[in-house]
Amino acid sequence: MFKFVAYKCNKLYSFFFNLNIKIAIAVNEKQKYMRWKYKPEPNPKKVTYLEKALEIDHTLAKLLIQRGIENYDEAKAFFRPSLENLHDPFLMKDMDKAISRILKAIEKKENILVYGDYDVDGTTAVALVAKFLLQHSQSIATYVPDREQEGYGISFQSVDFAYDNDISLVIALDCGIKAIDKIEYANKKHIDYIICDHHTPGEKLPEAVAILNPKQKDCPYPYKDLSGCGIGFKLIQAYQQKQGAEITSLIHYLDLVATSIAADIVPITGENRILAHLGLQTINENPSIGIHALIKSNDKEKLNIVDVVFGIAPRINAAGRLHHAKFAVELLMEEKIEEAIKMAHNISTINEDRKSLDQQITKDALSQIQNEQNPDSYTSVVYQPDWHKGVVGIVASRLIETHYKPTVVFTGDGEILTASARSVKGFDLYKALENCAQYIEQFGGHKYAAGLKIKRKNLEAFKNCFEQTVKKTIKPENRIPEIQIDSRVFLSELSLKFYRILQQMAPFGPGNMQPVFEASGLRDNGMGKVVGSDRKHLKLNIIEGSNNKTYNGIAFNMADKINLLKGVFKIIFTVDINHWNGTSSIQLKIKDIKPDV
């Protein structure tokens, strides 16, 4: 059997989820400046039609119209996601070339290397494709680059490794779209590459055997927002389709795909919603051994997408951040439950170390901003040579929670500094970095998250360029945390049936956010109070109008707003459920409170 090899890899990983809502519950001082933005009212005739066609109430019909659902068939597809609604994988440019090359490699018993990124999207992609190919060949190895020695993406060292180990085909997942020089180097060594990437391509593409990336300008694939692991899934879907196998044979891989979708903050729309919905079912009903070991200690009856984002994903990601991403790949590929539980325990320990580290670095970075940065600046750029490279992305997200500005966190004590960058809602960070490219050695990423390297001597020039670029291009409204509101409601509309239908709209995330409502003309019954061991939260007992029915609400990090409960107020909130003493009742998770004047 060909020996498995795994190394860790750097990735532009965005660790924040549902940013506008997270900001709303985390920033105490700035809550008074929150913008309440109302979604446009949908066409009343369409709402009335859907209300009657589905026999649902007016507010629920509005929510569906806002999500582009206008008739019974679209509602059925939305509420009952099915593998049958996935696109033909061969619509993706170069898919036929990729499958032909894999089939040739398996037939000729070539050694195949499955190569991937160091974060959740990359490691789940490597585990998925490697586990699948091992059913057809034993000549499969895995490789995740060393973060410190090789950096993000395909490395020259990994090409040399492939050459030294007689590997003739490399399948690169969640990276490679800009690895022009590395692929040129590999071609000289007669090593073929299939690139499966979802990052934005440059003007020039690598000369690989096949490039699977729906974001290519000439790629006709209908859905453009797959995760890296999602593109890996389309690859094995195409393989099965070519062999005449049913797609249902791939359901047991969907826990990995759903984990990647949740962690990489891709839109949960279209195919991603289908894959995430069915993947969550797999996580809850029949997870792989590795995922099962990670969730074994969870006491929730049923996990949702938020549990994956904040429970499963950080632990998978911690291995690559602090130690070695091979631990994550090995866990996700493990077939023995006893071994998997040991691995999961070790990774959980690493994650606890990661938490302590990012908390301390965040504290140091906040102090640096307070002492050294102009409070009127448009950006936050911080640097300290000994900050751990593995957590600077998390720290950048933490800084935005306090200072709502596009943020770059640098580290490194050599001539080349490494950084993670994060953006605020509505501002294209990637374009801003492009504008400062003359000071950057290497960068890549997304609209809201990126990674970059610069020469130490260019740090001040980069800071000035980045500040001026953001100052000139950011819109005033993008400098203030925003909460989008789906609909105004009366609290009397809310019921357990209403809640159950809302839950059927899940999984929630970008493109399909959890509905946020506004209710006004409210009073507290006098029992509202500050709660929590840190005395930071509010517990509300709300009365609406002349109705004496009390509605329970919880407002995290809003203890400073308790005086608002003395008068008439309005709230924005999401709908949750509270179970107590065998009974269930509606609970309001309050995102903001304002006086109703």
Residue 421's domain is classified under what CATH number?
3.10.310.30
Q: Please state, in angstroms and as integers, the Cα–Cα distance from residue 94 to each residue in 100, 181, 225, 477, following that order.
A: 10, 21, 17, 41
* Exposed / middle / buried, residue 251 (Cβ in 10 Å: 0-12, 13-18, 19+): middle
| Beta bridge mates, 169 | 112, 192
453 shares a domain with 486? no
The Cα 395–Cα 289 span in angstroms is 31
Q: Are residues 129 and 144 both part of a single domain?
A: yes
**Cis? peptide before 44, omega within 30° of 0:** no
State the pLDDT confidence band at 299, using cuts at 50, 70 and 90.
low
Q: How far is CA 472 from CA 38, 376, 428, 465, in A?
A: 27, 14, 13, 11
Q: Within this chain, do residues 233 and 99 fall inside the same structural domain, yes or no?
A: yes
Query: Two tokens at 85?
Result: 């609604």
Instruction: Answer whether 336's CB lies under 8 Å from 288's CB.
Output: no
The DSSP-derived string for 157-222 is HHHHHHHHTTEEEEEEES--TT-HHHHHHHHHTT-EEEEE--SPP-SS----SEEE-TTSTT---S
- For residues 136 and 23, state if they share a domain: no
3-state DSSP assignment of residue 242: helix
239 and 326, same structural domain? yes
Compute the average pLDDT of residues 293-300. Answer: 80
Are 219 and 319 within one domain? Answer: yes
Residues across the chain: 597
Mean predicted confidence (pLDDT) in 549-563: 93
* CA 516, chain centre distance (Å): 20
Calculate the alpha carbon distances from 23 to 309, 397, 589 in Å: 16, 10, 14
DSSP β-bridge partners for residue 540: 553
Q: What is the mean pLDDT of residues 447-452?
A: 89
Report if residue 11 sits inside a domain.
no
Tell me how crowded residue 421 is: count the other CB atoms within 10 A of its CB.
27
Q: Is residue 69 part of a domain?
A: no
Same domain assignment for residues 98 and 245: yes
Distance CA 183, CA 192 (A): 8
Decide if 128 contacts 250 (C-beta within 8 A): no
Residue 147: predicted pLDDT: 72
Q: 407-411 and 583-595: which strand pairing?
A: unpaired
Is beta strand 449-455 parallel, antiparallel or unpaired with respect to 550-555?
Answer: unpaired
Q: What is the Cβ-side half-sphere exposure of residue 375, based on CA atoms within 13 angstroms?
A: 4
- Residue 17: is its pLDDT beyond 70? no
CATH of the domain at 490: 2.40.50.460
* Residue where a domain terminates, one of 479, 506, 539: 479
Burial level of 238, CB count in 10 A (0-12/13-18/19+)? Answer: buried
* 456 domain residue, yes or no: yes
Q: Which of 347, 381, 416 is the last residue of a domain?
A: 347
* Ramachandran class of 422: left when φ > 0, alpha when ψ lies in -120 to 50, beta otherwise: beta
Domain annotation covers residue 411:
yes
Question: Looking at residues 145-162, what average pLDDT do you find?
Answer: 86
In a domain, 246, yes or no: yes
Instruction: For residue 87, give the DSSP letter.
Output: P
Check: CB of residue 490 under 8 Å from CB of residue 546: no
Choose among 414, 417, 445: nearest CA to 432: 445
Instruction: Provide Rg for the chain, Cα atoms.
Output: 25
Residue 300: CB partners within 8 Å, gap ≥ 6?
307
Q: What was the pLDDT predicted at 10? A: 33
Check pLDDT > 80 for residue 448.
yes
Question: Do 47 and 193 fall within a single domain?
Answer: no
In 3D space, the residue among 306, 350, 357, 309 whose CA is nearest the CA of residue 327 turns out to be 350
The band of 20, judged by pLDDT with boundaries at 50, 70 and 90, is very low
Residue 78 lies in a domain: no
Predicted confidence (pLDDT) per residue in 177-209, tens digit: 999 999 999 999 999 999 999 998 989 999 999
Q: Provide the pLDDT for residue 27.
A: 38
> Do residues 452 and 526 both lie within one domain?
no
Q: Are residues 342 and 410 in the same domain?
A: no
Question: What pLDDT shows up at residue 16?
Answer: 33
Q: Which of 149-163, 313-327, 364-378, 451-465 has the lowest mean pLDDT?
A: 313-327
> Per residue in 229-266, pLDDT tens?
999 999 999 999 999 999 999 999 999 999 999 998 89
CB 193 within 8 A of CB 206: yes
Confidence at residue 508, expressed as pLDDT on a 0 to 100 scale: 94
Secondary structure percentages of the chain, helix, strand, coil, to 5: 45, 20, 35
Domain boundary (446, 479, 512) is at 479
Q: Point out which residues pair with 592 in neighbouring strands.
A: 572
Assigned domain for 295 exists:
yes
Percentage, residues of the chain above pLDDT 90: 79
Confidence of residue 65 (pLDDT cuts 50, 70, 90): very high
Least confident of 120-124, 161-165, 300-304, 498-502: 300-304
What digits encode the pLDDT tens for the residues 25-37? Answer: 333 333 455 889 9
> At 101, which CATH number?
3.90.1640.30
Same domain as 420, residue 396: yes
Contact, 183 vs 154, CB < 8 A?
yes
* DSSP 8-state assignment for residue 275: H
> Do 343 and 272 have their domain in common?
yes
In a domain? residue 397: yes
Domain count, the chain: 3
pLDDT over 90 (residue 567)? yes
455-514: pLDDT as tens digits: 999 999 999 999 999 999 999 999 988 899 999 999 999 999 999 999 999 999 989 999
Q: What domain range is 394 assigned to? A: 373-479
Mean pLDDT estimate for the chain: 90
Could you give the CA distance from residue 32 to residue 34 in angstroms, rounded to a whole number? Answer: 6
Query: 95-99, 211-215, 500-504: which range is least confident on average?
Result: 500-504
Structural contact between residues 308 and 277, judged by C-beta atoms closer than 8 angstroms: no
Q: How far apart are CA 261 and CA 236, in angstroms?
A: 17
447, 16 in Cβ contact below 8 A? no
pLDDT higher for 90 or 302? 90
Q: How far is CA 293 from the centre of its chain?
A: 22
